Chain A
Amino acid sequence: MIVHSGHLKEDHLFECYLATQTGEELDPRAAEHLADCDECVARYDEVVAFMDTTRQAADAETDAEFTAERLLLQQQQILRRLEHVHRSARVITFPGRDTLSGSRSVGRLTPRWVAAAAAAGLVIGVAVGGYFAPERFHRSVAGQVVADHPMTVQQRPAAPAAVRVNTAQDDPPDDDAFLIELELALARPHTRELQPFDAMTPHVRDINNRER
């Protein structure tokens, strides 16, 4: 911190600037000093000029990127996304039962008890599998969820092509989750036997650092 004997310190000058920005009351002693001291006024003006310049640069840059048209487009995109909020996804039955109802052959109809038996068998199988190999079970269930995902669609399929439904914040992308796991794994103690291999393997981060 710069200390000027008999003058306002840098942090006091900054507090004065902040007070004028936020509408707070100026420290009376500082205000009094600023009214009398040209040197401090000059230093204060430097602070104000720096802050104004950086703010103006940011505004100009943002305005150049986000023109009025782009902001309007963004508003429309937000609205389109809001239209999908609170609309539950539905599962498409495939093949559609209604479309096939006329041509379905009677001979292929199965009695209800067969379906019930198959369901019971499946439940027992999953339970036993989960008991004996819980890790594989969880992995396969996760795989099943992923496999099922493409079958769900929004209730309003007629949305314009320009709409981009982004759920990145709610559902982090898979590669991100993978990288988190990877970094956690690397943070754990290394296996001594694998360290020579690790030393021989070029790292992306090293290449990046070298290029910079």
Chain B
Amino acid sequence: MDEARERFTDLVAIHQRRAVRIAFQYLRDSAEADEAVQDAFVKVFTHIASYREAWPFEVWFTRILINGCLDRRKSRARRERWFVPADEHGQESATESTGGRSGPNPEERLLARERRGKLAAAIDRLDGRQRTVFMLCHYGDCSPREVSAMTGINESTVRVHLFRAVRKLRGFLGGKS
């Protein structure tokens, strides 16, 4: 078991950064993304026996991760429907507070933050499938074929969703539509 855990550590190191990027872009909350990634790796470890090698490991792993993220989004939406936030101003996300620390000057940091905020809001306006396909292809480095395997959506439909997502995003962000 200890050997398995050691080998799994290498696997975590390989896939961690990509996983974090997907989860963070999906959830827009670093603490929640952190938890989602941890949960996904633990789940993969405990269910490794059910992995079939028909698809690469990362396809299987990403599917688990995305399902976890979707559950968290649903749960969050449910909470938002029913609970009044205690202090909306106090809830400034971790992104806001730490996002631009490495930026060259405050003005540029502010502009970058604004751009990121707009992009995040635009992605949030996409419908569920388009958002998932865009996230997986663009942030998860998955090919349309892999996304098709993960989501069960036909590959050509994935391509259509991706194209429409990008077209919408460009429209939302003031580019061409």
Contact = CB atoms under 8 A, between A and B. Distances in A.
A195 B38 CA distance: 45
Interface residues of A, number: 51
Contacts of A81: 38, 42
B138 A208 contact: no
Contact of B75 (A78, A172, A183): A172
Contacts of A74: 16, 20, 34, 37-38
A127 B162 CA distance: 58
A60 B25 CA distance: 11
Interface stretch (A30-38, A50-58, A118-126, A146-154): A50-58
Given A14-B166, A46-B176, A60-B112, A78 B12 contact: yes
Contacts of A45: none
Contacts, number: 136
A185 interface: no
A91 B81 CA distance: 39
Interface residues of B, number: 60
A75 B75 contact: no
A62 B34 contact: no
A82 B163 contact: no
Contact of B143 (A2, A22, A85, A205): A22
Given A61-B99, A64-B98, A50 B170 contact: yes
Interface in A35-81: 46-47, 50-51, 54-55, 57-62, 64-66, 70-71, 74-75, 77-79, 81
Given A11-B163, A166-B38, A71 B78 contact: no
Interface string A134-160: 000000000000000000000000000
